[in-house]
Chain A
Amino acid sequence: MNWEQYIFEGKPFEGIYIFDVHGHVGAHKPFQLGGYDADSVAKTCRRMNVDGVVVSSLPALASDWKWGNEEVAASVDAYPGLIWGYASPNPFYEDCDITPYLDLPGFVGVKIHGDMQGSTPVNDPRYFPTYEVANERGLPVLFHAWLSAEVRAAADVARRYPNTKIILGHSGMTARDTALEVARTCDNIFIDTAISSTYDNAIEVLVDKVGADRVVYGSDICFFDCIHTMGKIALARISDTDKEKIFGLNARGLFSL
């Protein structure tokens, strides 16, 4: 079957490696979700033949960093090989050290959401110890990147740590063109597809501007349903090879899986 047949017959893709670089567990206040725990994420991933998803904890980003990172650890522990973990620091706590989490099996990267942490720019020096650890260990760093200022701050981090793979979450969303601009100038920047409110052809534009090798599937599950992004990629007018790279082959290299 081809991509179109899978979709219109409502059958999950088969024989495609799918790895979601942008997931979450945990609740966030404005959203009434269809389940926000690891069980719900895992259930959907298995139903849709998703091979793996890296999650950060919404509470780790928006409230209690320690409680939230523990939530990620429990999720990874419950679904080894399916759910992988991002550790998330909080720059307001001098005692915040996420290396114990990064030492745990299944933690494969760092997620930073400066906007949820007092609108702190991600190039704030208080985040630097975390970047040093990520750089030393070769761990990707996923940034929430929605606005132009957020994209530019992430690019500054990318330039300071050229050996660290940076993922611009949401493709910059309202600042997509800025995201594409910095990706063209920083080889260590990748773009994820967690673009909740965008038009058709957006995936084609990403591939055209930065190349399919630099675009990775991210869904923002359990904020969002992981399916809408799948559909945008699968029905995009790009080659099958490019679709497979975006769905998982790029992430496999990025996370050394």
Chain B
Amino acid sequence: MRFFDASCRLGRPAAFGEGMPWQTDEILEIMARCHIDGALAYHIVAREGETQDGNELLLREIAQIPQLQPQWCALPATYDEFLHADALRDAMKENGVRTLRIAPKSFAHSARPYAMKELMGFAAECRVPVFFDYGEAPCDELYEICHDYPDVSFVITNTAYALNRWLGPVLDACGNLYLGTGNYVPHRGLETFCKYYAADRLVFNTNLPTGSATAAVSLVCFADISKEEKELIAHGNIERLLGEVRL
């Protein structure tokens, strides 16, 4: 079984517990130990505020690391704080960036379609998957944006356990919503999800360095689902989504 991590984080955190493997070489070591061939990575500086500088830092950090592919953090370009659609397309194409990460709550903007029009219009046109952590948008906003942009694949990461009743109706209504498996730890969670929504809407991720890759791979490997379903979750689904990107 090989894995591709759809979302991990690089960069120096403001605080961390003893032993947390935040340095890039530590993350690469854990990836190797966990049979994770590659990963999409974003940078903490981009995620915590200095979006464009952080995205540049990311490119420099992973320039010599073929296992890591860039995931850029993004926000609406309302005040020209971020690249407008045409410039964003050019920059992503030039730098091999195929996914975006948004954080509406952290960046203090609405996730509703009216507030995300330019960015989501671009993502829809170019079939760029958009990632965000659970809790970054209320479920009602999540529903609206998934509903209004059916050509955008949204991947929700950093999940936990008390979310199924929130997410279920959105998953029912919007086939373009995917669930990252990192820290998705309800009892028989993957089995239950596959029963109700199918394995092709689950995307393996670790949430490294705050999440556990050893736990994440074990959850998939030991899940009471078929080998084919495991392969889809471990790498197949994210490879399909990345293959659909048209920049």
Q: How far is the CA of A48 from the CA of B223 in the complex (A)?
A: 10
A8-B35, A10-B221 as given contacts; A200 in contact with B212, CB under 8 Å: yes
Cβ contact within 8 Å between A225 and B219: yes
A224 within 8 A of B: yes
Query: A224, B161: Cβ atoms under 8 Å?
Result: yes
Q: Quick one: which of A44, A47, A201 has the most chain B CB within 10 A? A: A201
CB-defined contacts of B85 to chain A, threshold 8 Å: none
Choose one: B160, B213, B224; the contact of A197 (CB below 8 Å).
B160
Min CB gap A171→B, angstroms: 11
At the interface, yes or no: B21 with Cβ under 8 Å from chain A?
A: yes
Partner of B187, one of A9, A224, A235: A224
* Alpha-carbon distance A33/B208, docked complex (angstroms): 25
The size of the chain A interface, using a CB distance under 8 A, is 42
A236 to B214, CA, bound (A): 8
A32 at interface (Cβ–Cβ under 8 A)?
A: yes
- Of A30, A32, A235, the residue contacting B214 (CB under 8 A) is A235
Output the nearest chain A residue to B35 by Cβ-Cβ distance: A8
Q: Is the interface of A mostly helix, strand, loop or mixed?
A: loop
Whether the Cβ atoms of B209 and A235 lie closer than 8 Å is no
Pick the contact of B33: A204, A230, A235 (CB < 8 A). A235
Q: CA A48 – CA B188 in complex, angstroms?
A: 12
Pairs A–B under 8 Å by Cβ, sample size 18: A10-B223, A10-B227, A32-B186, A34-B186, A44-B187, A44-B188, A176-B17, A198-B17, A199-B210, A199-B211, A200-B213, A202-B212, A225-B190, A226-B187, A227-B215, A231-B212, A232-B212, A232-B215
- State the A residues within 8 Å of B (CB): 7-10, 12, 30-36, 40, 44, 47-48, 176-177, 196-202, 204-205, 221-232, 234-236
Q: A7-B222, A200-B208, A231-B214 are in contact. List 7 more A-B contacts (CB 8 A).
A: A196-B183, A199-B17, A223-B187, A227-B222, A228-B212, A231-B217, A234-B218
